Amino acid sequence: MERKMKNLLCFFIVLLFPAQAAAQEINGPGESAHLAAGVVIAGAATTIADKYWSEHRALIGFSVSTACGMIGEGIDRATHGEKFSSMIQDVAFHTLGAVIGSLITDKFVLAPVIYRDHAGSNHFELSIQCQF
């Protein structure tokens, strides 16, 4: 069941990925669209990183999402001649979304994780949930 939920989450993330391209001038300056794009891309990258580098999946998800936002804004500035101040604001909102998306995906969507410390010991993290 959990594997199906991860696959379903990845499917919806892929469907929502074009939000980064459509983040221009939605409801004013488009901060909410940049925030949402950061959350979605970070969640997808964190989920994918879980398969290969589970110890650092949140950092990888954050980094990939932030890089996508910065590259996208650089392309917008080069092609559309956006103002520098609006570019910084868009990158800031995208980065905030990347923080939110990677942390929520890491802490609440994906579990468990095995961590290895410097001494070589393994630590297993397990999340237990109960519905009331």
- Domain assignment present for residue 130? The answer is no
- Domain assignment present for residue 131? The answer is no
- Domain assignment present for residue 132? The answer is no
- Domain assignment present for residue 8? The answer is yes
Backbone angles phi, psi at 4, to 5 degrees: -65, -40
What local confidence, expressed as pLDDT, does residue 64 receive?
93
Cα(75)–Cα(96) distance, integer angstroms: 20
- Domain assignment present for residue 25? The answer is yes
- Domain assignment present for residue 92? The answer is yes
Q: Which domain holds residue 17?
A: 2-125
Query: Please, what is the average pLDDT of the chain?
Result: 75
- Domain assignment present for residue 115? The answer is yes
Confidence of residue 98 (pLDDT cuts 50, 70, 90): very high
What local confidence, expressed as pLDDT, does residue 31 receive?
79
Q: What is the DSSP letter of 40?
A: H
pTM of the model: 0.64
Nearest to 95 by CA among 69, 113, 72: 69
Number of domains in the chain: 1
Confidence of residue 59 (pLDDT cuts 50, 70, 90): very high
What local confidence, expressed as pLDDT, does residue 54 receive?
80
- Give the distance from CA 11 to its chain's centroid: 14
Q: Is 114 helix (H, G, I), strand (E, B) or coil?
A: strand
